[in-house]
Amino acid sequence: MNHLDKLEAQSVYILREAYREFKNICMLWSIGKDSTVLLWLARKAFFGHVPMPLVHIDTHYKIPEMIKYRDDLALKWKLTMIYGENSEALAQKQTFPDGKADRITCCQTLKSEALKNTLSGEWNRYTLDHTTSKYVLDGNREKYTGVIVGVRADEEGSRSKERYFSPRDKENDWDVGDQPPEFWNQFKTDFAPGTHIRIHPLLDWTELNIWEYIERENIPITSLYFDQGSGKRYRSLGCYPCTSPVESTSKNVSEIIEELKSGKFANIAERSGRAQDKDDGGGLETLRRGGYM
Amino acid sequence: MTVAGLKHYAGEVICNMENREQMNIVIVGHVDHGKSTVIGRLLADTGSLPEGKLESVKEYCRKNSRPFEYAFLLDALKDEQAQGITIDTARCFFKTNKRDYIIIDAPGHIEFLKNMVTGASRAEAALLVIDANEGIKENSKRHGHIVSMLGIKQVVVLVNKMDLVDFDRDVFNSITEEFTEFLNKININPINFIPISAFNGDNVAEKSCETPWYDGHTVLMQLDSFANRKEDIQLPFRMPVQDIYKFTEENDHRRIVAGTILSGTIKAGDEVVFLPSKKKSVINSIEGFNVNSAEKAGVGQAIGVTLKTQIYIKSGELMVRADEIQPVLSSRFRVNIFWVGKFPLIKNKDYKLKIGTSRITVKLAEILNIIDAAELNINTYKDQVERHDVAECILETVKPIAFDPISHMELTGRFVIVDNYEISGGGIILESVSDKGSTLHHNIGKSEFFWEKGLVSSNMREDLYGHKAKFVVLTSGNEEYEQSIHKIGKELEFKLFKSNYTTYYLGIASHTSDSSDRDSQIRQIGELAILFADAGHIFITSVFNLDDYEAEKLKLLNQTHEIKIVNIGESPFDSFVPDADINYSDIGGVVDSLCELIKNYNKNGVEELWDRSITRN
């Protein structure tokens, strides 16, 4: 087995463990390359099926191509696709682009808050109707007790300390100082009422591993990651007011891999184009303790 | 300041990027002996830090009037910077010409022992850091002990802060001597001792001119000299069954047994045995998604197989090959355990044991000794295992589990214990021990003594009710009858009730998510049966796929009353012989046969019912 085989096998094990242990489980799909690899790994784990809903938090500031790509793939792969949003904050324009919140607050409102209430079922969920290709209000309001997330340990400091199975309390808070032990391949799969578990199957993957795997498996990825002729491409995807493309002429997966291995990005952090990280003192810990992915 | 995006690539061009080897290394040792500094230095000296990171950390320290430390590169969490200690395990990605590393920085503080073990259990080799100035401390030893228990064989000791003792060879030698003696006692033969100053970089990435008397490896060279675990392909095949899938969408009719192979190889056509149920079948195919169809699979692969025969098996069983050496089946075994729980491990309490993919109720039966991990003094007087203790104990599960004795292989004997939702301890099974003195027998013998009995005797109840008390257990090994047996139980109760029998039905709903829930449900139904039988009832239950151990347990619990275990259709048992086997025709037919079975006949073949003339409406 090569290194990608080993990473794949470990992620598949974690996904199967999660599916076995949690009745109400969902997978967060940010549309980015990592969670799309995660979705692919689910198809690996479950032999072509994805037996759990995919949940996307729509901030309405996502780059439009992302939403189209999401729905195209959801229809093609017959996914149970759900989205949630903070409709109140959006209606009242309590956002950074509207000038009524700073970046961190905006992230907390449109992402963390929306995520928390979508997972708990307190706010509306919308589900993709495969016959009409339109979203309809989801009747299911059950709380998700297992949430699969595609974060990687190499992304930033607080994520490097994550567990594969990471508990969140009733308030969605993360107690970094007192995390459960994980011995060998035994994870925390028992949880008290009211709490839920975040599951991180991609923790050991690096940005380079992700691209190598995309290349090997030929996974369809949104074209925003590639230079379309402007000399720019996205290295990390988020909301357009806070995410800038990087100068790069990589037009396909193998060019990106080359660029990461020996080119100009070999020593520059992936999230360097994400402005909220800088506003949080260079890391994401404040946001992540409060429920951010 | 934090380490946003610790993303590490060596500056040089690396050849043969395809199929690079990867290795996990853990760095352990007493608090403040300089683990994070060693890693920070390794990252800095090999050009593995993101551009500008080192400068920005130095700038941060200058602005905040703090002396710069390499550890700040790692201690990324805000609490850690404030307190200057590592709270949790951090992973750093790091490359040499030879391979990719994940370096796991484990905290040295005793309160964070569980985090240290978490980090160490993923590692193939360990660097143990000792401060030359402070010498060997409690956690130097404790960590050494746990590293040994976790089965990490490659250990290198870094004698750090040599600059503080003027690179004195005698200091280094005396630490080497003392610590080697300790490590040998716990079955570790350290590969090497390296004198370093992580702060100044001596013997980390570059050979130091301060230690002319040392001509061994630098830390960097040492890392590359570690051997990656040989894949356990020559060991017998072992695969814990993680789940059974049948996704019916898009006409997928495959019934797939999924799991990750711990050791050995398997191919289509091999005969396999599932343990502890002892069910057998033959591998039909090896399944995958977006892969070329394979005839064969081996260690490390997360696979799925289909079987030639449709047998009912559960997740948690161990799949092994019939033609290879078989694991041990036992419900009582000697273990080494380390405890990190908030509450102590005590006797007479139910815990959940997680071993492989199996979860089962377990009790602490005996404490053989508690080892003070730091001093290796043995304390045999404690009657509970406390937080941070390492102990040798005997554990008892409610049913036998399958494992290999540690002398054969350690992969199937590793377990954790869950107490009140939390993983509170971990350990390894040493060997199976005899069943004598099993607590189930003991407790059953005992429970009879605790009750006050009423004045109504069972004969008086029989006289009134017109029949004897009975416990009737319905089961089936055929999945198609999973729901039917509950219906049969309910219909049987109804029919008996209408004919004036004193009866009560309570079935065990299928699909309990957790096998330890099932264990306690079986036990509860057994105990309820005692009460109902005592009260003169015909107590009926239905349990899908009752196994040998569960059947024996129900019999054991209800020794004083008549118990009838009835199988309908295909048997779920391996060697247990039920009191009756009934073929499935339709529900009514089965209920009729059961009624015949339950009725009491006297010597003349006449039904022993006093007055059946009144039927209830």
Question: Could you tell me if residue A265 is inside a domain?
Answer: yes
- A positions 238-267 inside 8 Å of B (CB): 261-262, 266-267
Question: Is the pLDDT confidence value at B438 over 70?
Answer: no
Taking residues B50-77, report their average pLDDT.
Answer: 72
pLDDT at B612 over 90: no
User: Taking CB atoms and an 8 Å limit, are A157 and B90 in contact across chains?
Assistant: yes
SS3 B454: coil
Nearest CA in chain B to A164: B118
Q: With contact defined as beta carbons under 8 Å apart, do B1 and A285 qualify? A: no
A121 inside domain: yes
Interface contact flag, A157 B4, Cβ < 8 Å: yes
Contact B484, B583 (CB under 8 A): no
Say if residue A163 is in the same domain as residue A59.
Answer: yes
A129 vs B17 pLDDT, higher one: A129
Name the strand (E) or helix (H) holding B182: helix B169-185
Is A156's Cβ below 8 Å from some Cβ in B? Answer: yes
Say how far apart CA A287 and CA B489 lie, in whole Å. 55
Q: Is residue A285 part of a domain?
A: no
Question: pLDDT digit string (tens) for B349-391?
Answer: 999 999 999 999 999 999 988 876 556 566 667 789 988 888 8
User: Residue B62: its pLDDT value, please?
Assistant: 79
Given A205, A232, A253, which residue is the final one in a domain?
A: A205
Its CATH architecture, for the domain B328-440, is: Beta Barrel (2.40)
Considering the domain architecture, whether residues A69 and A93 belong to the same structural domain is answered as: yes
Label residues A256-270 b or e (16+ Cβ within 10 Å = b).
Answer: bbebbbeeebbbbbb
Domain B238-321 indexed as CATH 3.40.718.10: no
Question: What integer is the mean pLDDT of B237-259?
Answer: 90
Q: What local confidence, expressed as pLDDT, does residue B196 receive?
A: 95
Residues in chain B: 617
C-alpha pair distances (Å), B608 with each of B220, B470, B603, B611? 87, 14, 10, 9
- Round to whole Å and give the CA distance between B277 and A97: 61
> Domain ends where: A162, A186, A205?
A205
pLDDT for position A272: 62
Q: pLDDT tens digit string along B381-435?
A: 778 998 888 888 999 998 899 999 887 888 899 999 999 899 999 988 988 997 6
For residues A168 and A36, membership in a common domain is answered with yes
A202 vs B: CB within 8 A: no
Q: Are residues A196 and A231 in the same domain?
A: no
Q: What is the ipTM of this complex?
A: 0.90
Residue A139 and residue A236 in one domain: no
Lowest-pLDDT range of A221-225, B209-213, B349-353, B438-442? B438-442
Average pLDDT over chain B, rounded to whole? 83
| Separation CA A218–CA B67 (nearest Å) | 49
Inform me whether the pLDDT recorded for B74 exceeds 50. yes
Contact A186 B92 (CB under 8 A): no
How far is B558 from B372, CA to CA, in rounded Å? 44
End-to-end CA distance of chain A: 31
Check CB contact under 8 Å for A13 and B315: no
The per-residue pLDDT for B79 is: 53
* A13 contact residues in B (CB cutoff 8 A): 242, 260, 302
Residues A173 and A213 in one domain: no
Q: Is A190 on the interface with B (CB under 8 A)?
A: yes
Residues A239 and A147 in one domain: no
For residue B242, the chain A residues in CB contact (below 8 A) are 13, 16-17, 20
Report yes or no on A284 lying in a domain: no
Strands of B22-29's sheet in order across = B90-95, B100-105, B22-29, B125-131, B154-160, B192-195
Q: What is the CATH number of domain B455-598?
A: 3.40.50.300
In a domain, A93, yes or no: yes
Please report the pLDDT score of residue B8 as a whole number: 33
Residue A48 included in any domain: yes
**pLDDT in tens for each of the 293 residues of chain A?**
888 999 999 999 999 999 998 889 999 998 999 999 999 999 999 999 999 999 999 988 888 888 999 999 999 999 999 999 998 888 888 888 888 888 888 888 888 899 999 999 999 999 999 999 999 999 889 999 999 999 998 776 777 778 899 988 777 777 776 788 888 889 988 888 878 899 999 998 988 899 999 999 999 999 899 998 888 898 888 888 888 888 888 999 999 998 888 766 766 666 666 666 666 554 566 677 766 76
Kindly state whether residue A292 falls inside one of the protein's structural domains. Answer: no
At B138, list the tokens. 């409690």
B4 with A156: Cβ contact below 8 A = yes
Contacts of B13 in chain A (CB under 8 A): 262
- CB-CB neighbors (< 8 A) of B257 in chain A: none
Q: Check whether residue A156 and residue A250 sit in a common domain.
A: no
* Cβ contacts of B517 within 8 Å, gap of 6 or more: none
Chain A partners within 8 Å of B249 (Cβ): 49, 78
User: Both A129 and A195 in a single domain?
Assistant: yes
Q: Which residue of B has its CA nearest to A21?
A: B513
pLDDT tens digits, B281-330: 999 999 988 887 788 999 999 999 999 998 888 899 999 999 999 999 99
B254 at A interface, C-beta within 8 A:
yes
Name the more confident of B613 and B21: B21
In chain B, residues with a C-beta closer than 8 Å to the C-beta of A9 are 260, 300-302
Which of B79, B118, B258 is the closest to A182 by Cβ? Answer: B118
| Number of domains making up chain A | 2
pLDDT at residue B19, rounded to an integer: 58
Q: What is the mean pLDDT of residues B222-244?
A: 85
Measured in residues, chain A has a length of 293
CB contact, 8 Å: A34 with chain B? no
> Is residue A287 domain-resident?
no
DSSP B279-321: EEEEEEEEE-SSS--BSEEETT-EEEEEESS-----TTPEEEE
Distance from CA of A202 to the nearest CA of B (A): 13
Nearest CA in chain A to B80: A177
Domain ranges for chain B, please list them. 22-225, 238-321, 328-440, 455-598
Q: Which of A90-94, B20-24, B584-588 has the lowest mean pLDDT?
A: B20-24
Q: How far apart are CA B372 and CA B369, in angstroms?
A: 10
Hey, CA dihedral for A212, A216, A219, A221, is it positive or negative? positive
Tell me the sheet residues that pair with B244: B257
Range 286-305 of B in CB contact (< 8 A) with A: 287-290, 300-302, 304
| Candidates B2, B13, B300; nearest CB to A262 | B13
Same domain, A267 and A163: no
- Residue B1 has its nearest CB partner, among A5, A189, A282, at A282
A184: nearest CB among B4, B252, B414 = B414
pLDDT per residue over B151-161, tens digit each? 788 999 999 99
Residues of A in contact with B258 (CB under 8 A): 16, 45
Q: Are residues A28 and A171 in the same domain?
A: yes
CA distances from B101 to A161, B26, B92, B117 (A): 16, 10, 8, 19
Q: Does B137 touch chain A (CB under 8 A)?
A: no
- Work out the pLDDT band at B614, boundaries 50, 70, 90: very low
One-letter identity of residue A241: P
Output the pLDDT for position B90.
67
Q: What is the domain-level CATH number for residue A49?
A: 3.40.50.620
- Which structural domain range is residue A73 located in? 3-205
Return residues 47-76 of A near B (CB < 8 Å): 47-49, 51
Which residues of chain A make contact with B409, given a CB cutoff of 8 A? Answer: none
Residue A154, judged by CB atoms within 10 A of its CB (0-12, 13-18, 19+), counts as buried
- The first and second tokens of residue B530, run together, are 């005692």
How many distinct helices (H) and strands (E) make up chain A?
A: 10, 10
Residues A87 and A152 in one domain: yes
| CATH domain B22-225 topology | Rossmann fold (3.40.50)
Chain B residues in contact with A163 by the CB 8 A cut-off are 118
Q: What is the spatial distance between Cα B317 and Cα A188, in angstroms, rounded to a whole number? A: 20
Same fold, B238-321 and B455-598: no
Q: Which of residues 356-385 of B touch A (CB under 8 A)?
A: 357
Burial class of B130 by CB neighbour count within 10 A (0 to 12, 13 to 18, 19+): buried
% pLDDT > 90, chain B: 39
CA distance, residue B247 to nearest chain A CA (Å): 7
